[in-house]
């Protein structure tokens, strides 16, 4: 059987905003993939460190809750800490504020491949697929990649990784869309400069929660919710 939940609304996330706080067990294997190339600069990278630390506060961190890892990259990717390293939010926040800055080129595709094959593994602290924990990667970059990102991004999606792409300044929209999961408009974010990245924190968190809420709506077999507006969302729930 299937149930269609039809929602009229200018922004699905604004409709769901008041409900995400009640969701139980919203936990992830979450990896930040951070551009530390020369174009970022040390001063701006300090803002990235703080952004990661602030965003982590949105999650219930713990071994049986959300696990967090960080990959930094420029010429090559490096694990800052893996999914099994830290057990509390305070530990993750402290580690985030001490992420090392590299400088160098922008090899984003290599970083995506590295994350899929080396971080989202049980050996690195990721949980088995049977546990049903969603794999999420948030990639932040300020410029065009110097390698190809499309095939690594497809491989990540095939491996079950839900990828968000956050672009700053001159980051190319077409490249961000190649990186991001579907639907693109829910997984691509762009800001004009590093001072603005904290402004998207709330929207990013809501996008993460939406899939959980939609699943819950489907499980409840709700339908026929209507609002007068300019957009139409149709969610089809399979049973």
Domain boundaries, the chain: 27-199
Residue range 27-199 forms a domain whose CATH class is: alpha beta
Q: CA–CA separation, 73 vs 193, rounded Å?
A: 19
Q: What is the pLDDT of residue 215?
A: 46
DSSP per-residue letters across 119-164: ISSGGGTPPPGGG-PEEEEEEEESS--SS--HHHHHHHHHTTEEEE
Whether residue 232 contacts residue 5, with contact meaning beta carbons closer than 8 Å, is answered with no
Q: CA–CA separation, 14 vs 203, rounded Å?
A: 9
Whether residue 32 contacts residue 54, with contact meaning beta carbons closer than 8 Å, is answered with no
pTM recorded for the entire structure: 0.80
Kind and range of the H or E element at 91?
helix 89-96
Q: What is the pLDDT of residue 219?
A: 44
Peptide bond between residue 110 and the one before it cis (omega within 30 degrees of 0): no
Residue 87, helix vs strand vs coil: coil
Q: At what angle do helices 42-56 and 201-220 cross, to 10 degrees?
A: 30
Q: Which residues contact 40 (CB under 8 A, 6 or more apart)?
A: 48, 101, 142
Kind and range of the H or E element at 5?
strand 2-8
pLDDT tens readout for residues 107-117: 999 999 999 99
pLDDT tens readout for residues 133-149: 999 999 999 988 999 99
DSSP class of 38: T
As a whole number, mean pLDDT of residues 63-68 equals 96
pLDDT tens readout for residues 1-23: 333 343 443 444 444 444 444 34
């Amino acid at each position: 059987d299937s149930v269609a939940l039809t929602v009229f609304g200018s922004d699905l996330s604004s409709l769901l905003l008041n409900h995400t706080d009640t969701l139980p067990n919203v936990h992830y294997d979450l990896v930040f993939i951070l551009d530390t190339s020369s174009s970022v600069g040390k001063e701006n990278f300090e803002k990235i460190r703080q952004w990661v630390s602030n965003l982590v506060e949105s999650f219930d961190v713990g071994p049986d809750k959300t696990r967090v890892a960080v990959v930094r990259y420029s010429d090559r990717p490096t694990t800052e800490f893996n999914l099994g390293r830290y057990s509390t939010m305070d530990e993750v926040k402290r580690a985030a504020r001490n992420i090392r800055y590299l400088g160098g080129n922008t090899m984003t595709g290599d970083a995506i491949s590295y994350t899929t094959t080396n971080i989202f593994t049980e050996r690195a602290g990721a949980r088995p697929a049977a546990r049903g924990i969603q794999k999420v990667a948030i990639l932040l970059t300020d410029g065009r990649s110097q390698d190809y990102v499309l095939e690594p991004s497809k491989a990540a999606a095939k491996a079950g990784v839900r990828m968000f792409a956050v672009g700053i300044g001159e980051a190319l929209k077409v490249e961000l869309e190649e990186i991001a999961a579907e639907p693109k408009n829910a997984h691509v974010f762009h800001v004009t400069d590093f001072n603005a990245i904290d402004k998207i924190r709330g929207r990013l968190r809501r996008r993460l929660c939406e899939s959980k809420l939609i699943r819950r709506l489907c499980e409840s077999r709700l339908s026929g919710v209507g609002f007068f507006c300019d957009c139409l969302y149709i969610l089809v729930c399979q049973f």
